[in-house]
Amino acid sequence: MGSQFNTFSHGEIKDIDLDNLWFWIKRTPECVGILKRICTDIFTEIEFTPYDIEVRSSGRPKNDGLLRVNRAKSFWRRNSGKQKMYNAGFDWLGTGDAYLWKGMVQDQLKEFVGLAVETKSTDFYDEDYNSLNSIEVVPSSMTTIHHDDFKIISYIQKSKVNPSMKKTFFPDEILHAKLMDIDGSVYGFTPFISALYAIKTINAIQDYGYNYFANGAKLDYAFKFMGNVNPTYIDKVEEQIKQYTNVSNAHGSLILEGADKIEIEKLNDVSEEMEYRQLAIHCVGRLAFSFNMPADILSSILGVDIKGSAGSSDIENSGYNRNIIECQKYWEDLLNSQLFIPYFKVEGHFERTFKQDAIRDVQRMAQAAQVAEFFMRHKFPVVDDFYIEFMGIPKKFLTDGEIDKDAQPVGMLSGAVPKGNEQRSATKKSEQKPQQSNNKPIGS
């Protein structure tokens, strides 16, 4: 009996024109700066570690972990992995989606299959036969997702040169990264979509400023000659005005005669041309806020209008750093689960360049250790899990056993003075007593 559900296979198109979105992003320096800053912070140097395999075989060499790490490093370096991640990050932030294609050498695998079976009996582990030889970025603006009501069927990429040409990728060939999940769509969401009108407004203000200067700006003054004036006289006045507009002749005097009356009207005031400055600052601020960018990063382009206090700046930086770390964890999970572990039996981790939160954790643990020691010393009736959670220790790092609450305190956390120090302190005090009796205070 067939399924009672009817599934309809279709290719859902994103509800925004990505080519148009990229057009506005690329012509807005503020958008490009945000993309570059975030990608630089996320995609740092990657470190590989062997992935623990539960069942170890006697045929696995002793330096197996090092071999796996070296293969992963070689693959990453050969494919310019950092630059590929950087490019994928631009797509991820710009459109909400990033697609990475895992290049498989199927024909080569078929040629080696007999050899692989034969050699694996003596050489248990050889990643050269994993059939993966490259990783490439598939442009998100050229990709649609073909799916039914339950799962993704394929990814379809159209050619930028010839849109009628299409290439189909199956789900196991593509690593799909989504920036944000909204409304259950198969596509990711980016704040640039929400900020599109702010981006267009910034561009309109920039175009206004450019055209203002490209068209020669405005006339500074208008000279109105009253009465019946000889054209030769007007030409002579124009020559004199040109002479005195030269910087070297500034602040001179100009004597005019020959007209009944001359009216001079000032046309251009610089302050009028700054009327959209606050609007531009507002739009850039909204754009940066959508990506949780700290205010002090923007102060260089927005000026004094967006300065924050020292305390608020620390909080903003900490929030931004946490977001970067969360993004790094997301990409680590994606790459490890679909690339590094299946094909190389290693895990990759991006370098954490923000140490402020780590320092705060150490300071918190140092203070928590004193409280935990006080509880233990006074034998508070609490279970070990209380201390583990109180200290913030991840349980994956714990071994079997119980906390030794009767252990002697070590270091200065207990406030105890080592026995040797007590003896030296008592000896020093006894030596000082005769000296104190011989040198009595004045007036005693």
Which of 81-95, 119-133, 429-443 shows the highest mean pLDDT? 81-95
Provide CB contacts within 8 A for 233, sequence distance 6+.
258, 259
Amino acid at 311: G
Cα separation of 30 and 25, whole Å? Answer: 8
Provide the pLDDT for residue 303.
Answer: 56
Provide the pLDDT for residue 337.
Answer: 95
334-385 pLDDT, tens digit per residue, is 999 999 999 999 999 999 887 666 777 788 888 888 888 888 888 888 888 8
Provide the pLDDT for residue 135.
Answer: 92
Give the ranges where 156-230 is alpha helix by DSSP (H). Answer: 191-194, 196-214
Cα separation of 294 and 299, whole Å? Answer: 9
Top pLDDT among 262 and 80 is at 80
374-420 pLDDT, tens digit per residue, is 888 888 888 888 888 888 777 767 777 777 777 655 544 444 444 55
pTM of the model: 0.67
* Cβ atoms of residues 123 and 129 within 8 Å: no
Top pLDDT among 368 and 154 is at 154
284-309 pLDDT, tens digit per residue, is 888 888 898 886 676 666 655 555 55
Q: HSE on the CB side for 337, CA within 13 Å? A: 11
Q: What is the mean pLDDT of the chain?
A: 76
172-223 pLDDT, tens digit per residue, is 999 999 999 988 889 999 999 999 999 999 999 988 888 877 776 566 677 7
Top pLDDT among 272 and 388 is at 388
Provide the pLDDT for residue 394.
Answer: 72
pLDDT exceeds 60 at position 432: no
- Confidence bin at 117 (pLDDT 50/70/90): very low
Per-residue buried b or exposed e for 297-336, using 16+ beta carbons within 10 Å of the residue's own CB: bbeeebeeebeeeeeebeebbeebbebbbebbeebbebbb
Provide the pLDDT for residue 342.
Answer: 93
Provide the pLDDT for residue 204.
Answer: 92
Kindly state the tokens that stand for 62.
Answer: 């002793």
**Proportion of the chain above pLDDT 90, given as a percent:** 33
* Cβ atoms of residues 43 and 84 within 8 Å: no
Lowest-confidence region among 231-235, 282-286, 324-328, 418-422: 418-422
In the block, residue with structure tokens 């059939």:
131
